[in-house]
Each structure stands twice: as structure tokens, then as C-alpha cells.
Amino acid sequence: MPIIYKETKDLDYERVVDIFYSVKFLKHPHKRKIYKRAIEKAFRNSQYVVAAYDNDKLIAFVRVLTDKSLFATIWNLIVSPDYQIKGIGQTLVRRCLDKYPKLHFFTIADKSVYKFYEKMGFKIHSHGMYLEKGRKVCLIYN
């Protein structure tokens, strides 16, 4: 079955949230409504969103934030577990890199996916810093 890629922010955000839960990036089921609202807003406010479909079924997505001059960051790259290791994650990242070919790309990644990103030319950078704010929504990256 060919996988279809679409550049769109008009996703089924209930399904998006299901996929977040499926890889344990979200934990608390009772916070689902808050998560959904925050995730949809984050996706809609991103400059670039690509999603992958098997027929009509949403199976993976990624989004990019960028200043469109120097830097771009990749966020929320997730492939539904049943569809992993089939080249879909790589295609999604490739789409992002091709969309902004002149920009420097960054991402936050758990150690378990370093190899995945290294295969795409990313290098580990040790100088990143991060300030956690008191938001109600926290996505799990480990």
C-alpha cells in the first residue's frame, strides 16, 4: 500500500493525540482535552506540517518552526508504532529539509533516536539549553 504524504495543518487532531499516546509522548488520559487543544494550536502555528497517510488513515507527522532566514527546528516527529522502520520517518524529515534547503536545522531528540537522525546527517550538539516553563502540557521525550 503506497503511503501518501500531505502538507497540511488540517489534521484529525483526535487521531494526532492518539498517536502521541501510542509512543508514550503523552501520559495522563484525563488531560486529553488540554493536550489536544495545545497540540492543535502548536501545529497550526507552525510554518510547515507534513503528515503521512495509509489510505485515509493518519499514521505519522512532523512539524517545523522557522525564522525562514537562518534556523529551523523539527518538532513532534512521530510514526505510529505499526508503521515504524519502513522509511516513513526518514521521508518526513527529508521533506522538512527539502522545504528549507538553506536553513540550519535543529531538533531535540532522545538518545534512542540519535542514530536515526545521524543517518540523515544530523550531528550531536552538546551546547543546547532548555528552560521548562509552568505550562499544563508537557510532552515526554524519554
Ligand X SMILES: CC(C)(COP(=O)(O)OP(=O)(O)OC[C@H]1O[C@@H](n2cnc3c(N)ncnc32)[C@H](O)[C@@H]1OP(=O)(O)O)[C@@H](O)C(=O)NCCC(=O)NCCS
Identify which range of 4-12, 26-34, 36-44, 83-91 contacts ligand X by CB under 6 A.
83-91
- The string of DSSP codes covering 59-75 is EEEEEEEE-SSSEEEEE
Rounded CA-CA distance 27/86 in Å is: 26
Pattern 6-35, ligand X, x by CB under 6 A: -----------------x------------
Rounded CA-CA distance 103/124 in Å is: 17
| Interaction between residue 55 and ligand X (CB under 6 A) | no
Among 16, 50, 58, 78, indicate the residue that binds ligand X (CB under 6 A): 78
Q: Least Å distance between CB 80 and ligand X?
A: 8
Classify residue 135 as exposed, middle or buried by CB count within 10 Å of its CB (0-12, 13-18, 19+).
exposed
Identify which range of 40-48, 65-73, 104-112, 127-135 contacts ligand X by CB under 6 A.
104-112
Q: What is the dihedral of CA 9, 12, 18, 21, to 10 degrees?
A: 20
Q: Summarize as ranges the residues that interact with ligand X (CB under 6 A).
A: 23, 77-79, 84-90, 109-110, 112-113, 115-116, 119, 141
